[in-house]
Amino acid sequence: DAGITQSPRHKVTETGTPVTLRCHQTENHRYMYWYRQDPGHGLRLIHYSYGVKDTDKGEVSDGYSVSRSKTEDFLLTLESATSSQTSVYFCAISDPGGFGEQYFGPGTRLTVT
């Protein structure tokens, strides 16, 4: 998995609690992405980053925030988790010097009860 780790790998949390997911890369790639994967919806982009402290919204950003203070780390925060945010979350990276292919982490399965 191309030097990408996600933590935690599994988490169960209660509605209304804050949750932070971490993506860590060792590839020094500039671009990082957070997706969620749900049955019937494929992968949908939540937020992405094109450099340290440079982030932008994706297709389904409501209820999520991100931060990137270092090249290697991209954090996804659910400020107040809801049951609709139960999903599998994937982080991906890409190198703008390449052709645009993305490399994915192993995923985090989040359950909000």
The residue ranges that bind other proteins (CB under 8 A) are 1, 4, 31, 33, 35, 40-45, 48, 50, 56, 58-59, 90, 92, 94, 96, 99-107
Closer residue to other proteins in complex, CB, 15/26: 26
Closer residue to other proteins in complex, CB, 19/46: 46
Closer residue to other proteins in complex, CB, 14/108: 108
User: How far apart are CB 95 and other proteins at their closest, in Å?
Assistant: 9
Q: How far apart are CA 102 and CA 43, in angstroms?
A: 13
Contact residues for 74 (Cβ-Cβ < 8 A; gap 6+): 22, 23, 25, 32, 34, 49, 66, 67, 68, 91
Q: Phi, psi at residue 37, to the nearest 5°?
A: -125, 125
User: How far apart are CB 80 and other proteins at their closest, in Å?
Assistant: 26
Give residue 28's region: left, alpha or beta (phi > 0; psi -120 to 50).
Answer: left
Looking only at the bridges linking them, the beta strands covering 31-38 and 87-94 are antiparallel
Of 65, 90, 84, the closest CA to residue 75 belongs to 65
User: How far apart are CB 4 and other proteins at their closest, in Å?
Assistant: 8
User: How far apart are CB 44 and other proteins at their closest, in Å?
Assistant: 8
Closer residue to other proteins in complex, CB, 18/106: 106
